[in-house]
Amino acid sequence: MASLGRFLKILYVFSKYRLDEFLPVHLLPWYLRLAVMLAPWRLNPLPKRVPKAKRLRLALVALGPIFIKFGQLLSTRKDLLPDDIAVELAKLQDKVPPFADDLARQIIETALGAKLEQVFQSVEKSPLASASIAQVHGAILKSGEAVVIKVIRPNLLSTIENDLALMILMARLLQRYSADGRRLRPIEVVNDYRHTILGELDLMAEAANASQLKRNFKNSELLHVPEVYWDYCRPNVMVMERIYGTPIGNLHALRERKVNMQVLAERGVEIFFTQVFRDSFFHADMHPGNIFVAHNDPQAPQYIAIDCGIVGTLSEQDQDYLARNLLAFFNQDYHEVARLHVESGWVGTGTAINEFEAAIRSVCEPIFEKPLSEISFGQLLLRLFQTARRFDMQVQPQLVLLQKTLLNIEGLGRQLYPELDLWQTGKPYLENWMKQRLGPKAIWQEIRRQAPFWLKQGPGLPAMLHEGLKQIGQLPVHQQQIGLKLDALSRSLEDNSRKQKARIIGLIISATGLCSLLTPFLWSPQISFGIVAAGLLWIALRG
C-alpha cells in the first residue's frame, strides 16, 4: 500500500508540472499517442510563464532525494541535454531548498549532547549549501579551526524506503514479464542502489570514507580531501575542515583566475583512474556540487573533493577485466573485447566470440572514424549495451557505480575542456598499470604476501591428508587397499615436510640474491627474473 501511495504521488507531481511535455509522443504507436492525448493530466492547464526545464527541476525536488540524485546525474551530461535543462538541473547540486535553521540547530545539539556555544565559537545560520540528503553550515570551533557542519535532513528515511519499495516492485515486474528482465538483473541493481543510498544517511560511514580517501592521496598535488574532526561526528552530524576553492562548475571564475583548463580536465581523468586501479576505492558521486578547485597554482590546479557518502570498490578480478577491456577498446581490438566478455561471463553462455566480435565492430567502427577528442565514451557504452542485448549481456551490479562515475567524469571533463581526449589521457595510465601488475616486482610482492600463509599451512597438510585417509579406512575392505598406499604416502610427506619447508625458504632467498646480482649486468630486470625462474624450475623438476 505504501508503494501504491507513492506511485499515486508520482503521478500527481507528473500531472501538476505537466511533465508529459517531455514524452516523445511522435515516436509512440498510434494507440499510445491516443492514450496520452486522453490522459487525465491534460485537464491541468500548462503553467504559464514557467519554462518546462524549471518545471522538471521543481518536480524532482517535490519527489525527494532519489529523484534529486537522478537530476544531479543528468546535470553532468551537458553534452547530451539541451542547454536550458542542463543549467536548471545543475541547481540541484547544492541549491535544494534548505530546512529551517532552528531545526538544524536542534539536530546538531541533540547529536552532540551539548549546546552549540559549548562546542563552537560561532555557527552560521544560513547554510553554505543544501543538497538532497543534507545541508552544510559554516562554523568555528572553540580551538579556532574553521569547519563546516553537515546535517542530515530530518524524516528522510520513510520517503526513501517508500521509493525503494516502489523500485523493487517495478524491478520484480520487469524481471518477471520483460524479455530483458533476467539480462538487466533489475532486482540486484535496485538492492545495490539501496545499499548506496542508505549508506549516505550514515555520516559516520562518510567520515570513514573521507579519511580513507585522504590517506590514499596524502601529500598529493592532484587531490585534497578535508580533514575529519572525529570528536564531533555522529550518524546524522559530521564536522570537517572548511575548504576554500572555486566550484568546478563556475567556469567563468576559473577562467578569470587563468586556470589551465586542459590540465584541470586531464587531472580529473588521472584521479579517476588512480582511484579505480591503484586504490580500488573511488569517489562515486563526483558531480560538480562536490568538487572544487584549490586557490594555489592555476597552472597546476588541485582538486578538492567533498561528500564521500558514496564510494565504490572493485575486486582484483573486476579490475583486471575492466583494464583489459578498456585497453582493448583503446586499441580497437574487438576480438579481445569479445573474448573478455565471454570469458568473464558478462554475456550468455554459448556466445560465439566471432559473432560477438562482428557485432562490436559494427558499433565501434563508425564511431572511431571521428577524431578521438570527439568520441563520447558514455555514448559508446550505451551503443555497445544496446548491441549486446541480443547476446544476453547481463548488467553487472558491481560496475554500475563505476559506469555512473565514468559518465560523470567525462561529462565534467568536456565542460572544462571540450577537446578533452579521454582515450589519450587514460590509455598510458592503464598500460603502465598493467605492466606494474604483471611485472617481476608485482609477482615478487605477491609471493612475499602469500609466503607466510603457505609456510604456515605446509606442516599441517600431511595431518589433513592423514585425517582423510582415516575416513577412507572406514570404507569397504576392497577400497582400503588404496587407503593403505595413500597412508604410506602421508607418512612420507610428513617426514619430508620440514625438509621441503627449509628448501623452499632457501630457494626464495637464493632467487632474491641471484636477481639482485644479475640485474645490473642485464638490460632488463625481467630477463634476470626469467633466468632465475627457469633455474628454479629445473631444480624443482630434478626433485
Cβ distance 125 to 101 under 8 Å?
yes
- CA dist., res. 376 & res. 75, Å (int): 16
| β partners of residue 535 | none
- CA dist., res. 252 & res. 4, Å (int): 46
- CA dist., res. 35 & res. 18, Å (int): 15
Cβ distance 228 to 238 under 8 Å?
yes
Burial pattern 462-476, b for ≥16 Cβ within 10 A else e, equals beebbeebeeeeeee
- CA dist., res. 231 & res. 217, Å (int): 23
CA dihedral for 129, 133, 138, 144, sign (positive or negative):
negative
- CA dist., res. 76 & res. 285, Å (int): 11
Cβ distance 455 to 501 under 8 Å?
yes
Grid cell for residue 200: 549516505
Active-site residue among 163, 285, 307, 421? 285
- CA dist., res. 126 & res. 99, Å (int): 10
- CA dist., res. 186 & res. 164, Å (int): 12
285 is catalytic: yes
CA angle (62 as vertex; 61, 67 as ends), nearest 5: 55
- CA dist., res. 260 & res. 301, Å (int): 7
What amino acid positions are annotated as catalytic residues? 285
